[in-house]
Chain A
Amino acid sequence: MKILIIEDEKELSESIATYLKGEDYVCEVASTFDKALEKTELYDYDCILLDITLPGGSGLEILRELKANNKMDGVLIISARNSLDDKVKGLTLGADDYLSKPFHLSELSARIAAIIRRKNFDGNSLLKFHSISIDTVAKLVSVNNKPLELTRKEYELLLYFVSNKKRVISKNAIAEHLWGDDMEGNNDFIYTHIKNLRKKLIDAGNADYIKSVYGMGYKFTD
């Protein structure tokens, strides 16, 4: 999987690249408008992370070029402007998703995974982790081919974990992913959810994949 990170802030693009490399993505970085345009014209990527404010031009211009050339790359806009205009413009221009800075890397990773799944869903909508398989189109989970009943939030939680395998995910990132920005300061709630999901997975015959990392959060690993 090839990913292009178009971001002028070097430290940030490095962090993103480091995190994503752990997910077996191949990452390239473009830090200026011209460089980004050059790379998008020459190569195809599974997903492009696009910052809107770039030295030399607007990220939206690059998006326009991509669509004009009928490129199929998935595009995830990452903007510090958090402006509704940018979001609406970006999405109408054909971006797949929008994430405003600052974001959790785990959230970014989950969004990228979702975009890539949607892009190559021809026979590839099934997500597997050991005996767990998740049908992301039908939103169904089965363990050893037996259906596992999960609530909507439990399903989202499992999908989030599988998109960030073997990573420490903070409680804040999980809470924000499940309930959005407005539920700040209620991370205790997620404990109940994790406990329920963990119990359901173990009852279905799985090993205990959800490890709690003291102080930080949780890790989904074998």
Chain B
Amino acid sequence: MKLLSKYNRVNVIATIIVLLLSAIFYYFFIKAALIHQLDKNLKVEEREITDFIKENKQLPEPTNYKDEQEEFIPSGNQKINRRFSSIDIFNKEHKENVSYRQLEFPVLVAGNQYKILIRKSQVETEDLIKLILKITLGMVLILLVTLFLINRFFLNKLWKPFNTTLQQIKQFNLSGRNNINLEQSKITEFTELNHAVSIMTNRVSQDYDEIKNFTENASHEIQTPLAIIKSKLELLSQSENLKEEQMNTIQSVYEATNRLSKLNQSLILLTKIDNQQFRESEEVNISILINKHLSNYEELIAAKLITIKKNIEDNVKMNMNETLAEILIANLITNAIKHNIDKGIIEITLTNNRLCISNTGIPLECDPSELFERFKKDKVSSESLGLGLSIVKKICERYGYRINYNYSDLLHTTSINFWL
């Protein structure tokens, strides 16, 4: 639920409750006030009647209007208390009950007791109360419409800086280098939010840069000691009189060192692609590149008795960095060879907008979506670094190519769409 709708809902409910409560309060208050006023009028009438009796020693003519009626009833010795009351009288003309306020009091006229009834109509009062109710309902309606309009036109505008900021945060991408450009706002909260967001993103970018630089520097620094270890081992292996056991030990260390240095080089490569260090781009003929790599590995392909099915369009050219193009194609082809089975098949299809490399192989054991992650290996094999496909993915991302993997009919297929 949006903050706005939540706020509006609370607002509307509270307002309606308050308005209804005040309507009820009004109703009773105004009713009491009006009845008090009626009672006062009735007292005036009472005084007029008693004054008239004092002066003339007889009863006046009873008035009988629609909204004021008087009744004089001889009442003998009956004890009569002076009292106000509200009564309903059936009106024969309109066939409805009409409310009246009535004052009942005794008078003595020439020794005879009369009960005097003075009634005043309450219709006006009821009309007034109805009016109040209408006004209240009207106000509720106006309030709802106003809130809707405010919401529709004003609040959306008011929240615009917030939405802009939100959009920017969503699009924020550390490696993409798109800095956040926040809109100026006159609202304190949004200014503060923007301020906090820019401080945060700057700090994150800085940390990211630092980590990247650290990785790059560390990797470079590691190369030199690795070079020393490697060269010393190579020298050591040249010594005469080495026992077989010692040779084996040297070989193990040597191989581990090799793996370490390749791992390191792959990490440097990934960092460099991240750092946009392969800026130069030129037209690279992918068709030639694929054929070149296939012929480079032809002995390996022959040794595994792999059949190559080529469907390569001539002169497919992409505008990209030559080194990255080499790495991309070499990685895909070596993968298809390495993870192939004996007497397997490699199918390569290249068109102007798509490169598709399929190879036979044992089904994956891991989730295909994790395949492009760093250090993801299908089977724990020490020979593979698990960085090849994440390098491929990184290069594709760099140029906005879409890469896909799927497995069907015993074929692992990696496809790259050049145009989106």
Contact = CB atoms under 8 A, between A and B. Distances in A.
Contacts of B330: 180, 182
A12 B226 CA distance: 10
B110 interface: no
B96 interface: no
A173 B334 CA distance: 18
Interface stretch (B36-44, B297-305, B409-417): B297-305
Interface residues of A, number: 43
B223 A185 contact: no
Nearest to A106: B234
A207 interface: no
B300 A101 contact: no
B212 to A, nearest CB: 15
Interface in A35-67: none
A185 B338 contact: yes
A129 interface: no
A24 interface: no
Nearest to A193: B299
Nearest to A18: B235
Nearest to B237: A168
Nearest to A188: B303
B198 interface: no
A200 to B, nearest CB: 14
Nearest to B269: A82
Interface of A is mostly: mixed
**Residue from B231, B237, B272, B331 with most neighbouring chain A CB atoms (10 Å):** B231
A215 B246 CA distance: 9
Interface of B is mostly: helix
B223 A80 contact: yes
A163 interface: no
Interface in B209-258: 220, 223-224, 226-232, 234-235, 237-238, 244, 247-248, 250-251, 254-255, 257-258
B247 A15 contact: no
A172 interface: yes
B403 interface: no
Contacts of A12: 224, 227-228, 231
Interface string A143-183: 00000000101000000000000011010100000011111
Given A15-B228, A105-B231, A172-B258, A215 B220 contact: no
B244 A215 contact: yes
Given A81-B220, A168-B238, A215-B251, A102 B226 contact: yes
B188 interface: no
A152 to B, nearest CB: 9
Contacts of B277: 83-85
B385 interface: yes
Contact of B254 (A9, A153, A170, A184): A170
Interface string A76-97: 0000111111000000000000
A22 interface: yes
B300 A179 contact: yes
Contacts of A183: 297, 300, 334, 337-338
Nearest to B304: A189
A216 interface: yes
B291 interface: no
Contact of A9 (B228, B300, B381): B228
B238 A182 contact: no
Contacts of B124: none
B195 to A, nearest CB: 39
Nearest 9 A/B pairs, CB to CB: A185-B383, A15-B231, A102-B227, A101-B227, A80-B223, A215-B247, A215-B248, A102-B226, A182-B334
